[in-house]
Amino acid sequence: MKKGIALLLSLTLCIGLFSGCSSTAQNEPGDTPPTATQPVGGSAPVEVKIWHDGDEAIMQTIADQVNSQLEEDGITVTFEKKTDMPSQLKLYGNDPANGPDMYFYAHDVLGTFVAMDILAPLTDVIDTDSVLAKALSLTVEAGQLDETQYLLPVYFETLVFIYNKDLWEGDIPTTTEDLYDYMAAHTDTAAGTYAVVNQHTNAYNVSPFINGFGGYVISEDGMPGLNDPKTIEAAEYNKKFAALESDGDYNTVTTLFNEGKAAAIIGGPWLTSGIEAAGIDYGIVSLADIKLPNGNGMAPFSGIQGAGVLKIALPDKKEAIAKVLTAMASPEVGVALATKSGCAPANSKSYEDEQVASNEMIAAIQKTASTARPMPNIPEMNVMWSPAESMFVAINKNGEDVAKAAADAQAAAEQAIADMQ
């Protein structure tokens, strides 16, 4: 297991690339982290230290909201940015003097942290049934491992269909077959112009097909599913789309869309700052609205960002941490994240706010939650990205037989998991 954890810590997590929501909020005057103030009633102030590896402006938005709610309790949260969170928590997760009280990070690394034996179940701190009663089920599920809730979901991201209103002709198709027909009629690979572009060698971006067909990258019990019949069916179906989608790497597809050489792109909120900088008038459609041949809506992976609690913090700060978690789960935090940073809240009540509901990106992400799947959060998932990418490179770039590519990738994945032991 030690060898496995060390291997996991050396890997870059896929969703960590996309944790900035749709824009970078600017700190307003006075938005510096406050210091703990004397609470009403005279009890000693408490500081709750939270490590993160995300967008500083997003963390500041959360801190401002939580600290405002807990001011009278004398509780202050402070966020500290730590590069390579898994390694940092491996070093300091059991160190009361130097470690944090909580952490804020993507859900897909949860299994690695649980394996370190540093996290407290949230049920040891709060009534999760009550605090998470309004959280979207997708986000709650993402924070569970072995039926235990370890992560409090705060916001989430997933893939959507983004199109250039000046280039797209007519309505967005509601089926993948109609979408393919449109792509075939409006793509000129020789001229370098495309109807739709997508990172078709990345399992995250192919996930709308994999999950929608009933396939899987890895099961809950850690068994790879790259050669599962449904995964193979999805890969075979996706192949014809990939043939019309350019090279497929991140820089290529984003450049094509931002330069007006592609009418649409499958991506997420992390793309919008570049799209807006390019001056593109764009629209957004939920992938759940585009049906596969089996009648299912496209079902992308989703990444959930949230907070966990370290065991070492509970003896001295359990009551304060409970209040912090409750405040983080509030609709007010969700509204602030949506309006200031373009993040899709985990709390369903946040969408009742008029400004949140009118945000096209956030509305599309919320709708996609009906079909999206949380990325697996077990440790074994972290070694699946490479074999899965090799599989889709073989199929979508090199033209290899789908069944053979799947068998080779399955063998590589099984070996990678065996090497973790």
CATH number for the domain harbouring residue 110: 3.40.190.10
Whether 7 and 147 share a structural domain: yes
Cβ neighbours, 10 Å, residue 371: 24
Name the band, by pLDDT with cuts 50, 70 and 90, for residue 23.
Answer: low
Question: Are 32 and 63 a contacting pair, CB within 8 Å?
Answer: no
What tokens appear for 129 in the block? 């049934």
Whether 343 and 391 share a structural domain: no
SS3 255: helix
Question: Are 65 and 336 a contacting pair, CB within 8 Å?
Answer: yes
Question: Are 332 and 321 a contacting pair, CB within 8 Å?
Answer: no
> Which amino acid appears at position 144 of this protein?
Q
At 58, give phi and psi (nearest 5°): -65, -45
Predicted pLDDT at 9: 44
Number of domains in the chain: 2
Whether 258 and 110 share a structural domain: no
In angstroms, rounded to a whole number, what is the distance separating the alpha carbons of residues 153 and 136? 9
SS3 34: coil
Higher pLDDT among residues 33 and 271, named by residue: 271
Strand segments (E) across 159-271: 160-164, 194-197, 262-267
Predicted pLDDT at 28: 38
List of residues 6+ apart from 102 with CB closer than 8 A:
48, 49, 50, 51, 307, 308, 309, 310, 313, 321, 324
Residue owning tokens 């040891």: 124
Mean of the pLDDT values across residues 205-220? 97
Mean of the pLDDT values across residues 333-356? 97
Whether 249 and 174 share a structural domain: yes
Whether 142 and 184 share a structural domain: no
In angstroms, rounded to a whole number, what is the distance separating the alpha carbons of residues 106 and 326? 19
Strand segments (E) across 92-182: 102-106, 119-120, 144-145, 148-149, 152-158, 160-164
Domain that holds residue 295: 159-301+379-418
Q: Is the pTM of this model over 0.75?
A: yes
Predicted pLDDT at 391: 98
Mean of the pLDDT values across residues 333-347? 97
Q: What is the DSSP string of 212-228?
A: HTT--SB-TTS-B-TTS
Whether 141 and 246 share a structural domain: no
Predicted pLDDT at 18: 52
Angle between helices 2-9 and 85-92 (to 10 degrees): 140
Question: Are 219 and 201 a contacting pair, CB within 8 Å?
Answer: no
Lowest-confidence region among 3-17, 118-132, 352-366:
3-17
Question: Are 248 and 340 a contacting pair, CB within 8 Å?
Answer: no
Whether 165 and 219 share a structural domain: yes
Instruction: Determine the distance from the C-alpha atom of residue 177 to the mean position of all C-alpha atoms in its chain, rounded to a whole number.
Output: 27
What tokens appear for 89 in the block? 């928590």
Mean of the pLDDT values across residues 111-119? 96
Whether 370 and 397 share a structural domain: no
Predicted pLDDT at 19: 57
Q: What are 60-108's pLDDT values in tens digits?
A: 999 999 999 999 999 999 999 999 999 999 999 999 999 999 999 999 9
SS3 391: helix
What tokens appear for 33 in the block? 């982290």
Whether 292 and 272 share a structural domain: yes
Q: What are 378-412's pLDDT values in tens digits?
A: 999 999 999 999 999 999 999 999 999 999 999 99
Angle between helices 203-212 and 385-396 (to 10 degrees): 80
Whether 385 and 330 share a structural domain: no
Nearest to 73 by CA among 322, 333, 306: 322
Residue 283 DSSP symbol = E
Whether 64 and 137 share a structural domain: yes
Whether 295 and 307 share a structural domain: no
Q: What is the mean pLDDT of the chain?
A: 92
Cβ neighbours, 10 Å, residue 128: 20
